[in-house]
Amino acid sequence: MALLLDGGTGSRSAAPLWVDYPDTFTADECALLIGLTATLPHKDAGLVDGKAQADVRRTLIHWLAEDEATAWVYARLAAVMARANREAFHFALSGFDEDAQVARYADGHFYDWHIDRGGRGAGRNRKLTVAVQLSDPLAYDGGDLEINPDGHVALGPRARGTAMVFPAYALHRVAPITRGVRHSLVIWAHGPDFT
């Protein structure tokens, strides 16, 4: 697990920028998740408010409903979210108010700089984001998850199965894909508004 801290002091009392957990999902589980959505209808992704804006976001998504076939996925995501919150963030959380999302980024797809909080409905109560790398990093070029929570751009992990957890108010993007396809799994933990 990597714990990246604000201020560069190495002090664990500093506010975390993000945490990541390698091997949250195995390579076989990542392939299974990609396969679960491969034959299902995808839709063009919108922004937090649901509006499509191709100059900001160009990708296909599939909402992964929680059911008997996906209960293990939600259990794993809840465990990593709880661990990250306990170890690093200490936010008041109420749970997942939205389904998980599998995103498919192909040639030319991207998601420009944005935050995951805002709009109407559940999006305005998002507090933590979990982004899981599903694709083998050799299967595509570009497509880096970049985060800029403090005025400095850093690259998120590319290792397959790694979960990255960060505050939903942190500025981040997915850089344009220049070759191949990148899949990711994203979910948000919700809670009362920050005070």
Q: Which residue has the tokens 């799994």?
A: 185
For residue range 42-56, what is the model confidence (pLDDT) as tens digits?
A: 555 554 545 555 667
CATH of the domain at 178: 2.60.120.620
Q: Is residue 3 part of a domain?
A: no
Query: What are the tokens at 88?
Result: 């690093």
For residue range 14-50, what is the model confidence (pLDDT) as tens digits?
A: 557 899 999 999 999 999 999 988 776 655 555 454 5
Q: Is residue 7 part of a domain?
A: no
For residue range 119-176, what is the model confidence (pLDDT) as tens digits?
A: 878 889 999 999 999 999 999 999 999 999 888 999 999 999 999 999 999 999 999 9
Q: Is residue 131 part of a domain?
A: yes
Residue 93 contacts residue 127 (beta carbons within 8 Å): yes
Q: Is residue 9 part of a domain?
A: no
Q: Is residue 74 part of a domain?
A: yes
- Predicted pLDDT at 38: 77
| Alpha-carbon distances, residue 22 vs 104, 146, 150, 164, 188 (angstroms) | 21, 17, 23, 9, 19
Q: Is residue 195 part of a domain?
A: no
Number of domains within the chain = 1
- pTM for this one? 0.86
Q: Is residue 10 part of a domain?
A: no
Q: Is residue 5 part of a domain?
A: no
Helices (H), the chain: 27-38, 71-84
- Predicted pLDDT at 12: 41
Residues spanned by the domain of 146: 16-190
